[in-house]
Amino acid sequence: MQDILASFGTLLAPMTLLVIILSTALGIVLGAIPGLSGGLGVALLLPITFGMPPEVGLAMLVSIWVGGVSGAMIGSILLGIPGSPSAIATCFDGYPMTRNGQAVKALGAAITASFIGTFLSILIAMAASPLMARLALKMGPWEYFSLGFCAISLVAALSRGSVFHGLAAAALGLILASVGFAPIDGYPRFTFGNIYLNGGFDLIPLMLGFFALKQIVQDYARGQQQVPEVDASDIKGFGVTWKEYRDNTWNMIRSFMIGLWIGFLPGMGAALSNMVAYAQAKSASRHPEKFGKGCVDGVFASETSNNASVGGSLIPMVALGIPGDGVTAILLGGLMIHGVQAGPLLFNNNPEIVYALFLTALIAAVLVLVMQFWGMRLFPAILKIPYHYLYPAIVVLGFMGVFVGSSTAFNYVLLLGFAGLGLAMDKLRLPIGPFILAFILAPMLELNLRRGMTYTDDGILPFFTRPISGLLLFAAVLSIVSPFLMPWLRSLRRARQGG
Amino acid sequence: MNTEKPLGAGLVAFAIAGILVTMQISVRTFNDDPGPRLFPLLGFSILLLCGLGMVLTRSKISDVLREEEEAAAGTDQTPAARRGAIMFGLLVAYSLALWLLGYYIATPLMVYAFYHTIAGAERRVWWRGALYGLAVTGGVHLVFSELLNTLLPSGILF
């Protein structure tokens, strides 16, 4: 308790508090701009923290991260372009809500869900870190592979069109992620002698191509010049009714648990949790047909889960020294640069750093809530910007976003290639969600598949015989075969009733 | 137009080609490691099964997609395709301009080109477009170059 109070005192120092406020605001802005996620902000600003005391430097990075994860929903809802992969699923219903003139409601739902997700997950992370870390240690590569495979098959089975389309899109994602050096042995696959492909395809051109450029081409092709006017003059509270909050209580609890757990699992994070929570919300809903057309339940699910991943991913980083996702990997680097070794001994050696980390995230969550609550009245102003002003700026930001990460013009080719692929997939009714999920998870899947087969002499058998792994694979198979099985069972039942 | 079976056939052909290319990967492995071939083979196999599924079974698509298809079938898609091709062409032109001329020349010119194209004859005002091109170029320079201290693209000609 003494350590917590001491850390709290440090963070409330005027200069530190100012750093947290400015960093949170910057994180929201970076998160909202497509291609400039909070993660990119953390990476770009890491060198600036070198000259700061560890608590202040880490407070800056954590605030940008928290702001970025929450801010990503703004682009998803208002433009249909996610600021980062953590808000992909928010697009599915958030943007249709905007098109239906319900942008304020979508933003209000996302803001409250973001706050609940972040704040509660950080509290749980503070309280349950040691216990959950012990539990995760019992999971092996078999369980990690099966979990990832189950997530992909769930999303594929629940996507638009037939299950074949969903699975084919996921398979394309797995194949595309195989390009470049293979894990473990570093064998260059499908590079065809091109050195730019040795490292595989970068996620940023893929994301910007699939979401930003594809959206612009499609909107221009449709002749869309302006989205509907949003009346922000009569906003009460968060624009969401109590009934809608009540109706979504279980949805939010479930999404929160999914986000917390997936964030906690090393190698996964908000990018996966929002998709899985969305799929679960849709499958558990009494009105799944409304999803994808502007259903507020989808926004609640996605935003609660991706923000719950914040607390979840801090647990393995702090307790085990294993990053939960890409951004926590950079944060871990930041800790090491400041001479702090994350891991089980961190609680003993540097308790003030641990609690400063958690408390900063809590303060940033409150600041995000306040900033977005007032900003909500301003966000719809983005909609009033005519497309002939908005889209050229997005194009420039997209191209610069793919350039700054690698400083190579080859990324322009990738950006255009992915935009073209996205357009072709839309035309052929291959859903993008399973494709992206498979692409993101593929490295982790392959690594754990190969590790699992190497660790024992039984080859692939432990994937099926270990209880949790077997259960997850069974769920994966069930989700794939159920679209075929259910009509057959229904016809069987009808035949019995008729007979 | 029903794209189901042609798509399925295309996926089958792509998957078979992919499996053949993957089989050419030869790496000596140890400790029962299946090597770098297994994972791409898994991906291509799933693709092959899905392609076969599309070819051999009756298409079962959701009502939403069916409604969208019926709506699209009733309208002439040619103007939309032409507009889409123009916009994609502009994106290709911007990437080429960035590569050849660099950020500071390519961006104001291409931002104006995007503005000119998207605004259409009714809304475009040439000086506003030009001013906007300069503003976007300056704003992005300020954020990336000055605040974040990152490099912006330089062209191979200038």
Chain A residues in contact with B151 (beta carbon < 8 A): 404, 407
Over residues A154-205, the pLDDT tens digits come to: 777 766 567 888 899 999 999 999 999 988 888 889 998 888 888 888 877 8
Report yes or no: A419 and A214 within 8 Å, Cβ to Cβ.
yes
CB contact under 8 A, B65 and A429: yes
DSSP assignment letter at A290: G
Q: What is the pLDDT of residue A294?
A: 81
- Tell me which chain B residue has its CA closest to the CA of residue A460: B34
Spell out which residues of chain A touch residue B81, defining contact as CB-CB under 8 Å: 221
Any A CB within 8 A of B108 CB: no
Cβ distance A28 to A373 under 8 Å? Answer: no
Long-range contact pairs involving A241-247 (C-beta distance under 8 Å, separation at least 24): A244/A109, A244/A296, A245/A112, A247/A297
**Cβ contact, residue pair A168, B38, below 8 Å:** no
Q: What is the dihedral of CA B118, B124, B127, B129, to 10 degrees?
A: -10
Length of chain A, please? 499
Half-sphere exposure of residue A357: CA atoms within 13 angstroms, side-chain side: 25
* Rounded CA separation A368/A320 (Å): 28
3-state class of A189 per DSSP?
strand
**Predicted pLDDT of residue A237:** 63
Task: Give the span between the Cα atoms of A275 and A281, in whole angstroms.
Answer: 10
Q: How close A459 gets to chain B, by Cα (Å)? A: 7
Tokens of A214: 């594809």
Write the CB contacts of B21 (distance below 8 Å, at least 6 apart in sequence): A190
Q: What is the pLDDT of residue A219?
A: 82
Q: Which A positions 151-190 lie with beta carbon below 8 A of chain B? A: 160-162, 164-165, 167-168, 170-172, 174-175, 178, 182, 184-185, 187, 189-190
Cα separation, B51 vs B45, in Å, equals 10
Beta strands in A175-258 (DSSP E): 180-181, 188-189
Q: pTM for this one?
A: 0.73
Shortest CA distance to A389 belongs to which of B69, B119, B27? B119
Residues A34-76: tens digit of each pLDDT: 655 666 677 666 666 766 777 788 888 889 888 888 888 888 8
> Which amino acid would we find at residue A459?
G
Which tokens in the block code for residue A178? 């195989």
Q: Is any Cβ of chain B less than 8 angstroms from the Cβ of A454?
A: yes
Report the amino acid identity of residue A361.
A
CA angle A311, A82, A234 (to 5 degrees): 90
Contact status of B73 with chain A (Cβ, < 8 Å)? no
Q: Do B88 and A420 touch (CB under 8 A)?
A: yes
Q: Which of A174, A388, A400 sits opposite B144 (nearest CB)?
A: A400
| Rounded CA Rg of chain A | 22
Which member of B47, B81, B117 has the closest CB to residue A171?
A: B47
User: pLDDT-based confidence at A273, cuts 50/70/90?
Assistant: confident
Subunit contact A404:B144, Cβ cutoff 8 A: yes
- Least confident range from A32-41, A235-244, B91-100: namely A32-41
Q: CA A461 → CA A152, A442, A464, distances in Å?
A: 21, 21, 6
- Going by C-alpha positions, the residue among A268, A253, A260 that lies closest to residue A147 is A268
ipTM: 0.90
Mutate which: B16, B22, B23, B46, vs A, most A CBs within 10 A: B46
CA of A150, closest CA in chain B: separation in Å? Answer: 14
Sequence-distant (≥ 6) Cβ neighbours of residue A333 within 8 angstroms: A46
Burial string for A134-157 (b: 16+ CB within 10 Å, else e) reads: eebeebbbbbbbbbbbbbbbbbbb
pLDDT tens digit string along A224-234?
Answer: 655 555 555 55
A437 in contact with chain B, both atoms CB, cutoff 8 A: no
CB proximity B28 to A under 8 Å: no
pLDDT at residue B101 in the model: 94
Burial status of residue B51 (CB atoms within 10 A of its CB: 0-12, 13-18, 19 or more): buried
- Determine the straight-line distance between the first and last CA of chain A, rounded to whole angstroms: 71
CB B142 within 8 A of CB B152: no
Report d(CA A359, CA A356) in Å as an integer. Answer: 5
- Cβ–Cβ below 8 Å for B64 and A412: no
Residue B18 has pLDDT above 90, yes or no: yes
Where on the phi/psi map is residue A256: left (φ > 0), alpha (ψ -120 to 50), or beta?
A: alpha
Interface mutation target, options A389, A408, A430, chain B, most CBs of B under 10 Å:
A389
Over residues A448-473, the pLDDT tens digits come to: 899 998 888 888 899 999 998 999 89
Mean pLDDT, rounded, for B101-113: 95
Lookup: tokens for B145: 């170059």
- Backbone phi, psi, residue A248, to 5°: -105, 15
Contact list in A for residue B40 (CB cut-off 8 A) is 174-175, 178, 189-190
C-alpha A113/C-alpha A297 separation (Å) is 11
Instruction: Nearest by CB to A395, from B39, B94, B150: name it.
Output: B94
What the block records as the tokens of A291 is 């999803």
> A394 or A85: which carries more pLDDT confidence?
A394
What kind and span of H or E run contains A393?
helix A387-406
